[in-house]
Structure 1
Amino acid sequence: MKKKLLTILIGSAFVMGLAACGGGDDKGGGDTASDAAEIFDQNCSSCHGGNLQGGMGPNLTKVGSRYSQDEIRNIIKNGKGAMPKNVIEGDDADEVAKWLAAKK
């Protein structure tokens, strides 16, 4: 009985954590790095950390040295590992991908 309850609690916490990775319908207003940072903060920082340091999601401080802008955009669109797909969409996703690709 205790194992079942613990499994349910851990599973619920995991689902709630994934739900926190998405959300936020606020849109950035332009092509500036501050807009991309704001979009990231609203949609991604709960998993990747406010300073890109990682947490439930991986560290992104040097993600641009591992992935190109197109590869980052593809990860945002299709998800990867525990990351759900389409956390950010459209121009916002392009803006964040460009911003993250510059992190080297």
Structure 2
Amino acid sequence: MKKLLYGIVCIAFLGFLTACGGGDDDADQDKTPTEEQAGDEQTADTGDGDALFQQNCSSCHGGDLKSGGAPDLDKIGSKYSKDEIEEIIVNGKGGMPGGILTGEDADAVASWLAEKK
């Protein structure tokens, strides 16, 4: 019984750490892209969208876009346009709070999600 309780506590703690993030966003903004990243801007945006989603959204929507407690996003691009998705990211909708991502980060995630059809 103690092992089960310990396992539940550990999983809850890991979930808490995942949801809270903990990275220093300002430090990431000071980095300049490598020549390879700068030369292939579309790939960088797609990669950034995926990485930003995993860091900020996957705790609720699931890393695979459909295994979290929030709505599934695996086919969100067939329901909403990129601009509509970005508006939801910035302003929130339903139980989702707004402002989790803004500016270029919101644009990158919206572009990446708009491809999911």
TM exceeding 0.5 = yes
Distance 1:57 1:90 in 2: 23
Aligned residue runs from structure 1 range 52-91, under 5 A: 52-91=65-104
Q: Which residue of 1 aligns with 2:105?
A: 92
Q: Judging changes above 3 Å, is the alpha-carbon distance between structure 1 residues 69 and 22 closer, same or farther for their aligned structure 2 residues? A: farther
Looking at secondary structure, tell me which structure has more helix per residue.
2
Name which one, 1 or 2, has greater alpha-carbon Rg.
2
Aligned partner of 1:37 in structure 2 is 50
Identity of aligned residues (%): 57
Offset of 1:21 from its aligned partner? 7.5
SS of the aligned residue for 2:96 comes to coil
CA RMSD of aligned residues (A): 2.6
**Length, aligned pairs only:** 88
TM-score by length of 2: 0.64
Structure 1, unmatched stretches of 5+, are 1-16
Which structure 2 residue ranges, 5 or more long, are not aligned? Answer: 1-15, 34-40
The two structures have a TM-score, normalised by structure 1, of 0.72
Partner of 1:103: 116
Equivalents in 1 of 2:62, 2:100: separation in Å?
A: 15
Residue aligned with 2:97, SS: coil
